[in-house]
Amino acid sequence: MTLLQLQYFKALAQILHYTKAAKELHIAQPSLSYSINELEKELGIKLFDKENRKIRLTAYGEQFLTYVEKILALLDESVSVLQQMAGSALQVVNLGYFHSISTSLIPSIMAGIYSQEENRGVRFQFLEATSFDIFSQLKNGKLDLAFCMHRDENVESIAIMKQPLYLTVPNNHPLAERSFVTFEEFSQEPIVMLEKSSSLRAQMDQIFAQHEIIPNVVFEVRECNAALQYVALRFGISVLPQVPAMENEKVSVIPIMDDHQAFVRTVYLSWAKNRPLSPAALRVKNYIVEHYATP
């Protein structure tokens, strides 16, 4: 089994047409057919079924494809790491984060990283999305480093900051002029919640459960800006982190008084356990941990 056979198999599995795949690979169609036939002989299984002029992956082929994609991706990653070590490639770090830290934490980190001479050649590919989506992209290998609230056994995570949560209410709400509120003062209000995949939703559900209260959820939304818009339209209140849109919407933002720190969430820097970081990503990770890690 050769590397070329795996590359040819992947291309054909994605295109499912010998002529088009051969053209994409810049080889003759007979060469592609011969390579796939030899691969099937070596494996002792059929990877493709033919139906007239069409082909499709067999169940064996579908399973094999998942491993081939991982093998080729890991090979590409190893080449990139070696090139970076040799100084012959652009030092790109794929970094993901969620919206509420986009104007506070991220610019501060970038300024610090680029203040160091050895990091001047580093370039970032940023992805801003929900914490859940960022965490998923990290586990799928699309990101080197990720700021998120989610954790599991497949990633390393270091606490970076404690992010307070605030009650947001319409400007004309009876609580709008308060300097702080308690959970009991708003627990019976109609509330706009983030959807169930959100770590903030899980945290809020836990708080309500601990108080043995069923929340009056009027809307479920995917991200904080959408929640703010519904609050501004007077559909309900919401508990959110500080986000830039709070300055523009017709809402009041009120600190929540709590003795048990229930309305604070932890932001983690995470990276995959099973994938080595490139030298550039490792330097970025080490800088963030050294300068921002919290107990």
d(CA 67, CA 72): 9
d(CA 292, CA 52): 61
d(CA 157, CA 146): 9
For 191-237, the pLDDT digits (tens) are 999 999 888 999 999 999 999 999 999 999 998 999 999 999 999 99
* Mean pLDDT, rounded, for 74-84: 77
Q: What are phi and psi of 80, to 5 degrees?
A: -60, -40
Average pLDDT, the chain: 90
Q: Can you list the domains of the chain with their CATH numbers?
A: 3-85 (1.10.10.10), 91-160+267-292 (3.40.190.10), 163-265 (3.40.190.10)
pTM greater than 0.85 (yes/no): no
